[in-house]
Amino acid sequence: MTGRPDLADVAAAVLEETPPRGTRAGGYRVRPEAAARVAEAFWCRRAHHLQGVIVRTPHGLAVVWRPADIGRTARDGWAEEWLDDAPEQIRVTCHCRVNRAVDLTPYRTVR
């Protein structure tokens, strides 16, 4: 046990699902009260959908992202990892299926 919080709890404290608009499904956003804890956010370049965040915690940085290899029907799937345990690069996506690689190397020095 590292004494670190459960990353699912960190993700739930930082992310919230936005309500549907008309016939369009909702997406995800950073909770306004948690915005100060977000060191970086990754956005879809097509429609500005949230693809991932790096979160400051008292126990270090965590990365929460929508993995690009998630199934098409797994709309609410998020992955969580402590930044020091995460790979150097992750593949992220959003609900419009825009996939891209994010290099986490520069964020390892963020505090």
Residues linked to residue 30 through DSSP beta bridges, in sequence order: 15
pLDDT of residue 49: 87
pLDDT of residue 81: 96
Give the integer Cα–Cα distance in Å for 67 and 10. 17
Give me the number of domains the chain comprises: 1
Give domain status of residue 1, yes or no: no
**Cα separations (Å) of 76 from 39, 90, 104?**
22, 18, 22
Give domain status of residue 89, yes or no: yes
Residues linked to residue 65 through DSSP beta bridges, in sequence order: 52, 79
pLDDT of residue 75: 56
Tens-place pLDDT, residues 39-54: 999 998 888 889 999 9
pTM for the predicted model, two decimal places: 0.86
Give domain status of residue 79, yes or no: yes
Give domain status of residue 80, yes or no: yes
pLDDT of residue 12: 93
Which regions in the chain score pLDDT beneath 70? 1-2, 22-26, 71-76, 110-111
pLDDT of residue 3: 83
Give the integer Cα–Cα distance in Å for 99 and 82. 22
Give domain status of residue 61, yes or no: yes
Q: Give the CA diameter of the chain.
A: 45
Residue 80: closest CA among 14, 1, 3: 14
